[in-house]
Amino acid sequence: MKVYEEFVDLAYEPSKNDLIALFKIEPRKEIKIAAGAVAAESSVGTWTKPRFLPKRIEKLKARVFEIRKKEKLIKIAYPIDLFEPGNLPQILSSIAGNVFGMKEVKALKLLDVRFPRKLVKSFKGPKFGIRGVRRLFRVYDRPLIGTIVKPKLGLNSEQHAKVALEAWLGGCDLVKDDENLTNQRFNQFEKRVRKTIKARDLAEKRTGEVKCYMPNITAEINEAIRRAKLVKELGGRYAMVDLITVGWGGLQTLKEALDDLELVIHAHRAMHAAMTRSRDFGISMLVIAKLSRMIGVDQLHTGTAGIGKMKKEETTKINEFLRSDWYSVRKVMPVASGGLHPGSLPALIKTIGIDAIYQFGGGIHGHPKGTKSGARAVRQALDAVLSGIDLEAYAKSHEELREALEKWKPVKFR
């Protein structure tokens, strides 16, 4: 349509206050028209021209300023005045709203967004971030080691706390709930948190190390805040939230409450693959990471770079962003989780580095001698890697690691 072509201006030079969106696009027919349709629908346009069109509307137009036909990539510049500061749902309703359903496109994926400084600074960002998390644990020279209580569902509160205690005594720094464990009848939230925090205190007393529990408070927002207050009252230091399923607006509200409570925010990305997995449709995990850092989570699941059970993705690029300077917004701690075991550690540290949290579920609890031995095996593997010693050589004098490697072979570098 001719009206859509008016939103394509390949001579336009974006200003520092423009939001820049990078899309991969599969046009129904002509890429220029499809690109213009996306820019129009996500800003001030529609399929036909209104009779009344104030002059200021022209200044609010989104403009397609780059089209790469061969790669099927387009860049669109959005004037900052299109967006309400501090309102992420509104921003996403614009750049990632109706555009995915337009008939002019066969497929569309939002790959990246460059947010202008003024828009980023309208959000609070992380309260703790990497520095705050390390300060909490008093650990500065190694990755933090965590686990997820397994089996993920079915244990009662006492069994849950017992597994957590074994993991902490074996050497884990953190223990978290699974993403789908909240307040089920067999393991009620309040009972679980009370018992598990008591186990944490016992583990700290026995080991002399700081230990933390990350209870999953995900629920309707008012209920999630009530649970967070309970966590704080009982001596907790963390709250875990499933950021996609709780919703962006909900996450913003929850962030305010958790900051007031001085609780570190551990963000799980459950359901992200519904948007990120397709190469041609949806929203990339990089964009979700930027949104999460802007709102202000302190830790974020970002993938295992293909080392564990999850699909290989752009983990390295995401982690680089989370740990980079970005308008003085605090840096976010990446979390690798999914199919990891002691033999994964050399590849993890080589690929992801030490400014990260490595979480081992089955790779700890599936150890032939149980959870405590599994956690010990992970810490032994970590000690070996940081000392530059081959895992199998180190295992000769460390029983738990030897038994782990007999079950799970070391992962080769990729």
Tokens of 105: 């496109």
pTM: 0.94
- Predicted pLDDT of residue 53: 60
Q: Give the whole-angstrom CA distance, residue 171 versus residue 146.
A: 9
Q: Torsion over CA of 147, 220, 96 and 117, rounded to 10 degrees?
A: -70
Decide which of 3.40.50.1820, 1.10.10.10, 3.40.30.10, 3.20.20.110 is the CATH code for 129-407.
Answer: 3.20.20.110
Would you call 150 a catalytic residue per the annotation? yes
- Predicted pLDDT of residue 409: 84
Cβ pair 94, 82 in contact under 8 A: yes
Would you call 268 a catalytic residue per the annotation? yes
- Predicted pLDDT of residue 54: 65
CATH architecture of 2-120: 2-Layer Sandwich (3.30)
Tokens of 272: 């992200």
The domain spans of the chain are 2-120, 129-407
Contacts of 403 (CB under 8 A, 6+ apart): 367, 368, 369, 373, 377
Q: Give the whole-angstrom CA distance, residue 30 versus residue 27.
A: 6
Catalytic residue, chosen from 150, 160, 301, 367, is 150
| pLDDT per residue as tens digits for the range 231-290 | 999 999 999 999 999 999 999 999 999 999 999 999 999 999 999 999 999 999 999 999
The parts of the chain modelled with pLDDT lower than 70 are 1, 47-55, 307-313, 413-414
- Predicted pLDDT of residue 57: 76
- Evaluated on CA atoms 260, 266, 272, 277, the torsion sign reads positive
Catalytic residue, chosen from 176, 268, 301, 331, is 268
